[in-house]
Amino acid sequence: MKSKTRRWVLITGGVTTSAIIGVAAAVVFGSGSDPNKTPYKPPPTSPNIVAQAFLTAITNGDGAKAANQTDNPPAAGAALSAQSTGMGKAVFSAVLKGGSGASLPADVTWKLPNGTPFTYTVEIGMQQVNDQWKVHWAPTVLHPKLAEGQHLEFRKAIADDAMLGPDGTKLNPDVVPPALMNAITASFGGGTGTDGWEVGITSASGFVPLAGEKPAVPDKITVTIDAAAQKSAQAAVDALPQGAAIVAIDPRTTEIRAVASNKALDSNPFGGQYPPGSTLKVVTGAAALQNNLVSAASTPVDCPEVATVGTRRVPNDGFGHGSQKIPFSQAFAESCNTTFAMLGHQLSRDALGKTALQFGLGTDYVMAGTDSNTGRVPPADSDNLQVEDSFGQGNVTASPFGMALVAATVASGRQPTPTLVRGKAAEITSGAATPPSEAVLRVLRTGMRECITYGTGKSLARFGGLYGKTGTAESAEGAHGWFIGYRGNIAFAVFVKGAGSSTPALSAAGQFLSALS
């Protein structure tokens, strides 16, 4: 009995083991039911669901997810990335319009960065891939006019520069002195315009606009200040410790090229009034020529070291020619006070004032962009005052701007019409006058050239073709220094307040011209 029982257990154990093995074999070796060996087959989708998923992913800024809804993820991903960059901060949204099957329409709206909506309709082609619906990739699913290699782009339509320099390029506002720039913008506006916008198709060949708004641009303003001349003039006056100014004008057009003053000067170069000293001898010389006191540059004149004219004792600055007569042009070049005092004393009381107007000195202008005061040469009310006026003292006053007009008139022979904004020539409200004749101007030019070659301006003789006249003017503030002149297409006046002599003005003129050479 014991042995039978033991055999039964063994048999039972064998049967049991065999049954377990059989079950295991059925699991391991069964045909087609192992999830680790059979590819996953997603549930079927509809075209609408896939198309909506595609549009939703673009709306959410997930270009990679949107691309995976297409049958060409690499191409779609690249195009979506380019579109995202091109459209920047514009916001995308789209709505399927219904339909079913292989082509689904959708209304697309971009809210552009400026708040403007940009709308259009696309057709989203659908295609089955391995029994699954996919967006059939083509650039037209993003915009109906897109082709391969193209993308949408939003950009500003920049307004053209409305404030220009004399060369027609954009004016750098830093070139123009702040006070002058403020006056111009107050009269004409800032000239910046208002930018527009445009959205379109960008490709390697360029940009094709689809929609937009053109920029609004005010009338163009050409400010006549020249960057090189202004920079040079500013550097020249900034180098001086005294208050100083330079005004430069193109004598052919009388367009203003530079208006510079340093921080030490407490007046506006367009309006500050100072005695012009011997620079006024240009006017006195013209009056003497027009009143037949002098007939040519070679006309002999007296130039003693000291002369009593009327009751006024007039000295020269340490020189004279005694009883020897010298040519008028030499007396001009050497700035002989006694010569001009004697000539001026012979003129009528209003002759200097009338002649000054021929050079724009004392003329009243209404000039677009700024106020101005050229100066005053009123009739003398005494012989002594007439004498003093003749060499730029007495009650004669001028601004650097006014004396620059004098130089420009000698150079051009035309009545000055100073212009700061092109096309807006100054209007003469009083003091209009015909310029001196060419014959008179030729004599003045001879004297101004000799002033540079051997006269009081000889320190500037290195500048070929320069014509000029120095001036020193006594005042309660000390002697002011002046130099006026022209060279090529620049006529100018240099003023140095309380300089003691014309030497600092000559120095500043040299620095100004050197930078322009």
User: Which helix (H) or strand (E) is 28 found in, with range?
Assistant: helix 2-29
DSSP state of 71: S
Q: Would the pLDDT of 271 be above 70?
A: yes
- Per residue in 497-516, pLDDT (tens digit) is 999 999 999 999 999 999 98
Strand partners, 480: 473
104 band by pLDDT with thresholds 50, 70 and 90: very high
List residues bridging with 495 in a β-sheet: 245, 482
Q: What is the mean pLDDT of the chain?
A: 89
* Structure confidence at residue 194 (pLDDT): 77
Residue 16 confidence (pLDDT) above 90: no
Q: How many CB atoms lie within 10 A of CB 132?
A: 14
Cβ–Cβ < 8 Å for 491, 507: no
CA 483, CA 492: separation in Å to the nearest integer? 8
DSSP conformational letter for 483: E
188-224 burial, b at 16+ Cβ within 10 Å, e below that, comes to beebebeebbbbbbbeeeeeeeebbeebebeebbbbb
Assess contact for 171 and 226: CB atoms under 8 A: no
Place 25 in a pLDDT band, splitting at 50, 70 and 90: very low
Q: What is the mean pLDDT of residues 254-275?
A: 95
Sequence-separated (6 or more) residues with CB below 8 Å from residue 7: none
Domain with CATH 3.40.710.10 in the chain: 227-516
Helices (H), 457-500: none
Q: What are 469's strand-pairing partners?
A: 484
| Strand 163-164 versus strand 221-222 pairing type | parallel
355 residue type, one letter: T
In the block, tokens 């459209």 appear at 87
Q: What is the model's pLDDT at position 2?
A: 38
pLDDT tens-digit map of 299-337? 999 999 999 999 999 999 889 999 999 999 999 999 999
For 120-140, how does the pLDDT look when each residue is reduced to its tens digit (9 = 90+)? 999 999 999 988 999 999 999
**C-alpha count within 13 angstroms, C-beta hemisphere, residue 147:** 4
Three-state SS letters, 255-307: EEEEEEECCCCCCCCCCCCECCHHHHHHHHHHHHHHCCCCCCCCCEEECCCEE
Looking at residue 41, what is its pLDDT? 58
pLDDT at 98: 77
| Cα distance between residue 489 and residue 507, in whole Å | 20
The third-level CATH classification (topology) of the domain covering 227-516 is: Beta-lactamase (3.40.710)
d(CA 504, CA 264): 14
* Cα radius of gyration rounded to whole Å, the chain: 45
Write out the H or E segment, with its range, that includes residue 95. strand 91-96
pLDDT per residue as tens digits for the range 392-417: 999 999 999 999 999 999 999 998 89
Q: Mind listing the pLDDT tens digit for each residue in 430-462?
A: 999 999 999 999 999 999 999 999 999 999 999
Q: Which two tokens stand for residue 106?
A: 């959708």
Phi-psi region of 101 (alpha: psi -120 to 50; beta: other; left: phi over 0): left
The pairing of strands 163-164 and 480-487 is unpaired
Q: Averaged over 52-58, what is the pLDDT? A: 97
Q: CA-to-CA distance for 415 and 436, rounded, in angstroms?
A: 9
Q: 283: number of CA atoms within 13 Å, CB side?
A: 37
Which two structure tokens, joined as six digits, stand for 61?
């800024």
CA distances from 91 to 7, 181, 268, 439 (A): 84, 41, 54, 75
> What's the rounded Cα separation, in Å, for the pair 127 and 226?
67
pLDDT value of position 23? 31
478-495: pLDDT as tens digits: 999 999 999 999 999 999
Rounded distance between C-alpha atoms, residue 144 and residue 155, angstroms: 20
CA distance 55 to 64: 12
Predicted local confidence at residue 294, as pLDDT: 98
Q: Which residues of 41-59 are buried (b: 16+ CB within 10 A; e: fewer)?
A: eeeeeebbebbbebbebbe
Whether residue 34 has pLDDT greater than 60: no
Q: Where in the chain is the domain with CATH 3.10.450.100?
A: 47-149
Q: Residue 491: its pLDDT value, please? A: 98
The closest of 44, 76, 82, 151 to 66, measured between CA atoms, is 76
The candidate with the shortest Cα–Cα distance to 389, out of 337, 432, 335, is 337
272 CB contacts (<8 Å, ≥6 apart)?
245, 265, 399, 400, 495
Residue 4 pLDDT class (50, 70, 90 cuts)? very low
Crossing angle of helices 281-290 and 337-345, in 10° steps, is 50
Top-tier CATH class for 47-149? alpha beta
Q: Which amino acid is at 15?
A: V
Tokens coding 431? 């003091």
Within 10 A of 2 (CB to CB), how many other CB atoms are there? Answer: 6
Position 43 confidence tier, pLDDT thresholds 50, 70, 90: low
Q: For 62-76, how does the pLDDT look when each residue is reduced to its tens digit (9 = 90+)?
A: 999 999 999 999 999
